[in-house]
Protein backbone atom coordinates (compact mmCIF):
# COMPACT_ATOMS: atom_id res chain seq x y z
CA UNK A 1 0.00 0.00 0.00
CA UNK A 2 1.46 3.41 -0.99
CA UNK A 3 2.39 5.77 1.77
CA UNK A 4 0.40 8.98 2.38
CA UNK A 5 2.36 12.22 2.52
CA UNK A 6 1.08 15.64 3.53
CA UNK A 7 2.75 18.90 2.55
CA UNK A 8 1.94 22.33 3.96
CA UNK A 9 3.44 25.44 2.37
CA UNK A 10 2.98 29.18 2.31
CA UNK A 11 3.78 31.09 -0.89
CA UNK A 12 4.06 34.83 -0.37
CA UNK A 13 2.45 36.86 -3.17
CA UNK A 14 2.87 40.29 -1.56
CA UNK A 15 3.68 41.40 1.98
CA UNK A 16 -0.04 41.33 2.86
CA UNK A 17 -1.05 38.35 0.71
CA UNK A 18 -0.08 34.69 0.57
CA UNK A 19 -1.24 31.37 -0.82
CA UNK A 20 -1.67 28.58 1.74
CA UNK A 21 -0.99 25.20 0.12
CA UNK A 22 -2.11 21.82 1.50
CA UNK A 23 -1.49 18.71 -0.59
CA UNK A 24 -2.01 15.04 0.28
CA UNK A 25 -0.37 12.42 -1.91
CA UNK A 26 -0.66 8.67 -1.97
CA UNK A 27 2.54 7.56 -3.67
CA UNK A 28 2.78 9.79 -6.75
CA UNK A 29 -0.99 10.39 -6.97
CA UNK A 30 -2.49 13.56 -5.52
CA UNK A 31 -5.48 12.63 -3.32
CA UNK A 32 -6.37 16.10 -2.02
CA UNK A 33 -5.35 19.71 -2.56
CA UNK A 34 -6.37 23.02 -1.06
CA UNK A 35 -4.97 26.35 -2.29
CA UNK A 36 -6.21 29.31 -0.23
CA UNK A 37 -5.45 32.90 -1.25
CA UNK A 38 -5.27 34.78 2.06
CA UNK A 39 -5.09 38.54 2.63
CA UNK A 40 -4.32 40.64 5.68
CA UNK A 41 -7.06 42.92 6.94
CA UNK A 42 -7.71 44.87 10.12
CA UNK A 43 -9.14 41.68 11.64
CA UNK A 44 -6.09 39.55 10.81
CA UNK A 45 -5.46 37.06 8.01
CA UNK A 46 -8.65 36.15 6.14
CA UNK A 47 -9.33 33.74 3.26
CA UNK A 48 -10.36 35.40 0.01
CA UNK A 49 -10.55 32.50 -2.47
CA UNK A 50 -9.92 28.76 -2.09
CA UNK A 51 -9.56 26.06 -4.72
CA UNK A 52 -9.83 22.47 -3.46
CA UNK A 53 -11.05 18.99 -4.34
CA UNK A 54 -12.77 18.02 -1.10
CA UNK A 55 -14.59 14.68 -1.61
CA UNK A 56 -13.04 14.47 -5.12
CA UNK A 57 -15.25 17.35 -6.32
CA UNK A 58 -13.05 20.24 -7.57
CA UNK A 59 -14.58 23.59 -6.66
CA UNK A 60 -13.73 27.18 -5.82
CA UNK A 61 -14.92 28.99 -2.68
CA UNK A 62 -15.24 32.77 -2.44
CA UNK A 63 -15.24 34.60 0.88
CA UNK A 64 -16.40 38.08 1.89
CA UNK A 65 -14.31 40.75 3.63
CA UNK A 66 -15.09 39.14 7.01
CA UNK A 67 -13.93 35.67 5.97
CA UNK A 68 -17.46 34.22 5.66
CA UNK A 69 -18.18 31.87 2.75
CA UNK A 70 -20.11 33.66 -0.02
CA UNK A 71 -20.36 30.99 -2.68
CA UNK A 72 -19.02 27.66 -3.83
CA UNK A 73 -18.86 26.73 -7.51
CA UNK A 74 -17.60 23.67 -9.35
CA UNK A 75 -14.47 24.15 -11.43
CA UNK A 76 -11.92 21.99 -13.17
CA UNK A 77 -8.92 20.51 -11.34
CA UNK A 78 -6.19 23.06 -10.66
CA UNK A 79 -2.44 22.59 -10.48
CA UNK A 80 -0.47 24.66 -7.98
CA UNK A 81 1.49 26.47 -10.71
CA UNK A 82 -1.78 27.48 -12.40
CA UNK A 83 -3.24 28.85 -9.14
CA UNK A 84 -0.06 30.78 -8.33
CA UNK A 85 -0.18 32.35 -11.79
CA UNK A 86 -3.87 33.32 -11.42
CA UNK A 87 -3.29 34.84 -7.99
CA UNK A 88 -0.24 36.83 -9.10
CA UNK A 89 -2.05 38.21 -12.16
CA UNK A 90 -5.44 39.07 -10.62
CA UNK A 91 -4.65 39.33 -6.88
CA UNK A 92 -7.37 41.26 -5.02
CA UNK A 93 -9.67 41.33 -8.07
CA UNK A 94 -10.24 37.57 -7.72
CA UNK A 95 -13.16 38.04 -5.33
CA UNK A 96 -15.06 40.08 -7.94
CA UNK A 97 -14.46 37.64 -10.82
CA UNK A 98 -16.19 34.45 -11.97
CA UNK A 99 -13.08 32.41 -11.34
CA UNK A 100 -14.77 29.04 -11.74
CA UNK A 101 -14.39 29.57 -15.50
CA UNK A 102 -10.65 30.34 -15.38
pLDDT of residue 92: 66
Q: Quick one: pLDDT at residue 101?
A: 67
Indicate whether 25 belongs to any domain: yes
Give the count of domains, the chain: 1
Partnered with residue 31 across adjacent β-strands are: none
Q: Does residue 22 fall inside a structural domain?
A: yes
pLDDT (tens place) for every residue of the chain, 102 residues total: 779 999 999 999 999 999 999 999 999 899 999 999 999 998 899 999 999 999 889 999 999 989 999 999 999 999 999 999 999 988 867 766 766 666
Identify whether 98 is part of a domain.
no
Q: What is the pTM of this model?
A: 0.89
Q: Quick one: residue 15, left, alpha or beta (phi over 0 = left, psi -120 to 50 = alpha)?
A: alpha
* Domain with 41 in it: 4-91
Say if CB 73 and CB 58 are below 8 A apart.
no
Amino acid sequence: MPELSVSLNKIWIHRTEYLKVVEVREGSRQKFYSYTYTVKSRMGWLPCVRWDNYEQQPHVDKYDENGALLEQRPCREKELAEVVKLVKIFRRNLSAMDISQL
